[in-house]
Amino acid sequence: MMPYWRARLIQLNNTTVGNALAFNGFWALACIGQDAALPFTIAALVILVLATPDLGKTSLLAARVATIGLLVDIVLTRSEIFVFSNHAFVPLWLVLLWLGFSTTLVRSLKFLNRHLLLAALFGAIGGPSSYFAGHRFGAVEFGYELIPTLLLLAVIWACLLPLFFTLARQLYNEDLAHVSVHT
């Protein structure tokens, strides 16, 4: 039997709005707090993951998405497109951010699942916007001019988001329709 508190977390996170709010709060904690907020960011990630009904699939999707996302961020960092002060490598809070982001694919971003062109457009806008916001908060510096960096991120995210939905569909038996999400 599932504990009452976890059932309530799942119920809240199982709504489009609930998951969007939870992830955006998590994103703000990770990007604004960075290394200083790591204990809180880790705790928030644990809560975000526990608020999903299927820990096995959630964990597997998180591992896949985070691995791909981090590889991209590592290449961008090694290419000096991203510069993380006080970090030779990508910071731990960014690893946590990728893990947390994966929970949105079958919850708040689920509406993009069957529309990969729309997902590409959403990725081309949302991905660079997120990094730009992180840049404004001082979480990441750009090693090159702003506009070319954002355009590169738009191309990358136009490819990444449809790929992430493809991985989610494979894991959730080709269709995310059975993952109930309420608005």
Angle at 162 between CA 11 and CA 90, to 5 degrees: 85
Residues 6+ apart with CB under 8 A from 15: 181, 182, 183
Residues 6+ apart with CB under 8 A from 163: 68
pLDDT for the residue numbered 181: 46
Give pTM, 2 decimals. Answer: 0.91
Q: What is the pLDDT along the chain (183 residues), one digit of tens a residue?
A: 888 988 888 888 888 999 999 999 999 999 999 999 999 999 999 999 999 989 999 999 999 999 999 999 999 999 999 999 888 889 999 999 999 999 999 999 999 999 999 999 999 999 999 999 999 999 999 999 999 999 999 999 999 999 999 999 999 986 555 554 444
Residue with tokens 């001019």: 145
The Cα-based distances of 25 to 50, 65, 97 in angstroms read 16, 20, 11
Residues 6+ apart with CB under 8 A from 97: 26, 27, 30, 31
pLDDT for the residue numbered 9: 86
Domain regions of the chain by residue span: 4-178
DSSP code of residue 77: H
